[in-house]
Structure 1
Amino acid sequence: METLEGTELCFPQLFNTSCRKPMRPHFESMLIYILLSSISLLTVTLNLLVIISISHFRQLQTPTNLLLLSLAVSDFFVGLLMLFQIMLIDGCWFFDGCWFLGDLMCTLYQYLAYIITSASVGTMVLISIDRYVAICDPLHYSTKVTHKRVQFCLSLCWICSVIFQSMILKDILKQPGRYNSCFGECINFVTYIAGITDVIFSFIVPVNVIVVLYMRVFVVAVSQARAMRSHIAAVTLQFSVKVTAKKSELKAARTLGVVVVVFLICLCPYYCVVLTGQDNLLNASSAASVICLFYFNSCLNPVIYAFFYPWFRKSINFIVSLKILQPNSCEANML
């Protein structure tokens, strides 16, 4: 039922109280849905491969990989949430502006999304701490970073995410839909103070920790590579060692640069909107790209953190070829 030029009602039977749904060209809508479906499926698939690999093969169950497992779990659920709203909702909510599952489901969706993304950011901080200890204090790494300590930190990360987001979203948790102005709206609103608090503890603090630790790791890694190059070059194989050292320095710079830059690119726009107090507009189509970019980071995480490891490519081969179903496949050599 068309009500105004270029718009229609989300609920035509509720003429006076229904939200209006912006009309889009059919080609544009199909392109958006195909793009989002592809991103969500890729996010689910890549992170599921990481989860299966680390969970199944015992050789991969190191403290560092447990952190990657936690990151993959959080990103896997982000992909599922995206797939849920694309497949089960009539259109994509933050593009079409209509939510058809009621206020309770809207609140639950937002609550889970906040917890998952918060846990993902927290896990990235733990990964940066793990890499810092491994590079800057390698002699004591095995005693400082143990399975039990990593499991405890990950559990604490998820528990704190639940508690923190419960405090941030306490208003809509008490009364779902209290800020909605019409039927079919799923507004992503928090108070200004809660929004600032979320920005500080979910973005500013983690980003500063990650950047500082990775910069320190980069400096130490480069200095170690140069020291090794100088020491060995003084003995023999000067030319070949110099080339190898340069490659290692470039690889370290590239990997750490990708980690930090991609993280900032994906999360900065969203938190900049929140910081300016415009988070109540994030359900509008004008802010859809900001949310998509925020979620797209979950698709990139397994690429950044896992595809740089040779064991991941080897484990994918085991999974795709169904060798993982063979007896004692969990004992296979992945390194």
Structure 2
Amino acid sequence: MEIQDTGEFCFPQLLNSSCRKSTIQSTKAMFLNTVLSIISVITVVLNLLVIISVSHFRQLHSPTNIILLSLAVSDFLVGLLLLPLEIYRNTTCWYLGEIMCAVYYYLGCYIPYISISNIILISIDRYVAICHPLQYPTRITAVRVKLCVFLCWLWYGLYSIFYIKEQIINLIEPGNNVSCLGQCSLFLSYVIGVADLILTFIIPVTAIVVLYMRVFVVAVIQARSMRSHVTFVSVQHPSKVKAKRSELKAARTLGVLVITYLSCFCPLYCYTFIYINLTDLSNAYLFIVLFYFNSCLNPVIYTLFYPWFRKAVKLIITLQILKPDSCVTNIL
């Protein structure tokens, strides 16, 4: 009788229920994991700089920056938790237990959903600022934005529990768990998969695209109007010209942010849409990593387009924020 090599199994003492160890140990896989680990560290550091900048300097406590702060927090958690756990899950046996597996998938749903909600809030913010500028100061206030951000974090926290309900059921009733020991897999029914696809992809992406298409059209019209009347308006109302240019620049910058997000976000959901009945998302590893990589790109966009972020980073690195009253520094 042929004797199996127990070293191939995650739990050699439980051969009948143990998964086999991952065979992804090639040089290419090790190189990919090294790159992803570096990306994870960069994501944490850059988003931490965004969080400190917006939180510390009072001039940056605007409604738009509050949303960017919320986005930076979710991106920070991606780099700190999701990327390392995703690398671990795909390169070795899962020895952290089923409870931690459920927690991982809960966070894997919750944190990206928060990013989606933040992008929607950014689109609404720019829509009101560009299309209804006179109503912007009264409609978009810091208090309202904070409330919206809080409700988004609360709502998606509850929604994520519902989304992984079957995973929790598998923990309560181990007999229902079809996976072997040493594997962390998410099991979704067809109905929940379709519902999630509609609620977290089709509807949000449609709303984002519609809002930003409207913003783009109005911004182009306003830019042309400013160029045709720049001499007269700049002489009579120089402050209005500066404010309008600032709004248009913000719309352009946040537009780049939205497009980058959709470019990283859509491939994963398109893959899920094609294989809507899949029960194991391990084949979507590269798409998941691409989605998480967006969290590293967002601070890079801030660095390229926001002078205030570059100035804030300089003050943070040189430890000048430790000086008294540094929070009232002119950063804009």
Q: Structure 1 length as normaliser, TM-score? A: 0.85
Partner of residue 118, structure 2: 123
Q: Displacement of 1:174 after TM fit?
A: 3.3
Distance 1:277 1:83, change over 3 A: closer
1:164 aligns with 2:159: yes
1:314 aligns with 2:290: no
C-alpha separation in 2, matches of 1:305 and 1:235:
30
Partner of residue 221, structure 1: 219
Q: Displacement of 1:30 after TM fit?
A: 2.4
Partner of residue 241, structure 2: none
Q: Tell me which amino acid in the other structure corresponds to 1:204.
A: I
Distance 1:71 1:252, change over 3 A: closer
Q: Displacement of 1:179 after TM fit?
A: 3.4
Distance 1:196 1:115, change over 3 A: same
2:137 aligned to which of 132, 139, 142: 142
- The 5-angstrom pairing of residues 1-335 of structure 1 reads 8-82=8-82, 84-85=84-85, 92-93=88-89, 95-96=90-91, 98-176=93-171, 178-232=176-230, 255=253, 258-275=256-273, 276-283=275-282, 286-305=283-302, 307-335=304-332
User: Is the contact made by 2:123 and 2:211 (CA closer than 8 Å) also made in structure 1?
Assistant: yes
User: Is the contact made by 1:41 and 1:83 (CA closer than 8 Å) also made in structure 2?
Assistant: no
Q: Tell me which amino acid in the other structure corresponds to 1:33.
A: N
User: Is the contact made by 2:82 and 2:104 (CA closer than 8 Å) also made in structure 1?
Assistant: no
Q: Deviations over 1:104-152 (max 9, x none)?
A: 0000111012111111100110011001111111111111101110011
User: Is the contact made by 1:180 and 1:187 (CA closer than 8 Å) also made in structure 2?
Assistant: no
User: Is the contact made by 1:133 and 1:141 (CA closer than 8 Å) also made in structure 2?
Assistant: yes
Q: Tell me which amino acid in the other structure corresponds to 1:258.
A: V
C-alpha separation in 2, matches of 1:270 and 1:161:
19
C-alpha separation in 1, matches of 2:8 and 2:197:
35
Instruction: Find the residue that maps to 2:66 and give its secondary structure.
Output: helix
Q: Deviations over 1:25-57 (max 9, x none)?
A: 542232022111011111111111110000111
Q: Tell me which amino acid in the other structure corresponds to 2:42.
A: L
| Equivalent residue pairs, number | 315
Q: Tell me which amino acid in the other structure corresponds to 2:88.
A: C
Q: Structure 2 length as normaliser, TM-score? A: 0.86
User: Is the contact made by 1:19 and 1:182 (CA closer than 8 Å) also made in structure 2?
Assistant: yes
Q: Tell me which amino acid in the other structure corresponds to 1:224.
A: Q
C-alpha separation in 2, matches of 1:328 and 1:256:
30
Instruction: Find the residue that maps to 1:185 and give its secondary structure.
Output: coil
User: Is the contact made by 2:123 and 2:208 (CA closer than 8 Å) also made in structure 1?
Assistant: yes
Q: Tell me which amino acid in the other structure corresponds to 2:284.
A: A
User: Is the contact made by 1:3 and 1:9 (CA closer than 8 Å) also made in structure 2?
Assistant: no
- The answer to which of 264-273 and 46-55 deviates more is 264-273
Q: Displacement of 1:278 after TM fit?
A: 4.5
User: Is the contact made by 1:196 and 1:274 (CA closer than 8 Å) also made in structure 2?
Assistant: no
Instruction: Find the residue that maps to 1:315 and give its secondary structure.
Output: helix
Q: Displacement of 1:227 after TM fit?
A: 0.9
User: Is the contact made by 2:188 and 2:279 (CA closer than 8 Å) also made in structure 1?
Assistant: yes
C-alpha separation in 2, matches of 1:299 and 1:65:
18
Q: Percent identity?
A: 53
C-alpha separation in 2, matches of 1:124 and 1:3:
51
C-alpha separation in 2, matches of 1:252 and 1:122:
19
User: Is the contact made by 1:282 and 1:291 (CA closer than 8 Å) also made in structure 2?
Assistant: no
Q: Runs of 4 or more off by more than 4 Å in structure 1? A: 233-236, 250-257
C-alpha separation in 2, matches of 1:301 and 1:118:
16
- The answer to which of 288-297 and 273-282 deviates more is 273-282
Q: Displacement of 1:252 after TM fit?
A: 8.3
**Ranges in structure 1 where 5+ consecutive residues have no aligned partner:** 237-246
Distance 1:46 1:138, change over 3 A: same
What's the C-alpha RMSD, in Å, of the aligned pairs? 2.7
Q: Displacement of 1:292 after TM fit?
A: 0.5
C-alpha separation in 1, matches of 2:191 and 2:298:
30
C-alpha separation in 1, matches of 2:139 and 2:233:
35
**Ranges in structure 2 where 5+ consecutive residues have no aligned partner:** 235-244
